[in-house]
A = this chain, B = another copy of it.
Amino acid sequence: MIGSEDDFIAALRAIATEPGARGLSDDAAELKLSNTTLVVTHDTMVEGVHWLSAQDAADVAWKLVAVNLSDLAAKGATPVAILLGYMLADPDWNARFAVGLREAVDHFVVPLLGGDTVADPARSARAIGLTAIGRPSVVPSPARADARPGQALWVTGELGGALAGFEILSAGGSDPEATRAYRRPTPLLDDGKALAPLVGAMMDVSDGLLLDAQRMAQASGTTITIDSAAVPVVAALADRRDDAMRWGDDYQLLFTLPEGTPCPVPATRIGSVMARGNALLLVDGVPASQDRPLGYRHGD
């Protein structure tokens, strides 16, 4: 009997025994062929979970592309193709989705190669999936599992921008700039490529800094410690640092570097990797409070 999502994923892990699958605990998989290696990822977005029903479908299309390319960014890979699995909506929504998809394809210079469209007979919450394929700049590409004791923990950019934008949209607001981080995230492809040859572990912060850092510790067999005062947070959430660390959707890169290695991209050192202790994750020296969720568990 398979109960929760975690149980089901455990069942999938037992099937996905290929080394390149990385135990299904990474942002993307490696596909090793006789003469090349690719990085492949598939993320699905669901109405009401990953986007607000009232949102512009052009933003949904952009975000679907961006979150998948963000997984490639975390591997230091260059996107080479995307495939779309689209559930048809009403005509206006379809049209706006196509507009946003074109904008994303043009902006990120990644060809739409194929996919399919299906009817939605139940007029249910729609699910839309995308597969992205990339070529890694370094093989093996960075993994979550390669954080080592003594390395420094870094994060790009600022956290909380997506949360701030989500709250504005949820309250009926529409300020394009203040909501941009939630509506139109940017996968950090160039940063990922610059970091790939240098990092220990690397992943994107899709589900929340604390949850994703805990996953990195779990996969690496280490404990990660974070200095919360060092975590860069957007001005709008300056007094809600804990919220910003537990909310996802920012698509910043979280990575480790050997002590003393200069970071080649704009980023902030926020902690360290230690030998595995009793807790996977320490915040300011104590185990992270589990009174509130560490992040979003709706999808990896």
Contacts and interface: CB of A to CB of B under 8 A. Distances in A.
Interface of A: 1-5, 7-9, 11-12, 14-18, 20-21, 24, 26, 28-29, 31, 33, 35-36, 38, 40-50, 80-81, 83-88, 91-92, 94-95, 98, 101-102, 105, 111-122, 124-127, 129, 131, 133, 135, 298-300
A256 B29 CA distance: 37
Contact of A94 (B2, B94, B118, B127): B2
Nearest to A122: B125
B21 A95 contact: no
Given A3-B91, A112-B18, A85 B42 contact: yes
Which one of A45, A98, A135 has the greatest number of beta carbons of chain B within 10 Å? A98
Contacts of A91: 1-4, 7
A119 B94 CA distance: 23
B122 A48 contact: yes
Contact of A31 (B15, B119, B133, B299): B133
A113 B2 contact: no
A18 B133 CA distance: 15
A44 B114 contact: no
8 contacts: A2-B94, A12-B117, A16-B111, A20-B81, A21-B114, A42-B129, A46-B87, A85-B127
Given A12-B112, A20-B81, A24-B115, 19 more contacts: A8-B88, A11-B98, A15-B105, A21-B112, A21-B113, A28-B114, A29-B83, A33-B36, A35-B35, A42-B131, A43-B85, A44-B85, A44-B116, A46-B87, A49-B119, A85-B127, A87-B127, A116-B300, A127-B127
Contact of A112 (B2, B15, B38): B15
Q: How many copies does the complex hold?
A: 2
Contacts of A84: 12, 42
Contacts of A105: 15
Contacts of A24: 114-115
Given A21-B111, A29-B83, A121 B46 contact: yes
A1 B92 contact: yes
A80 B87 CA distance: 26
Contact of A29 (B12, B44, B81): B81
Contacts of A125: 120-122, 124
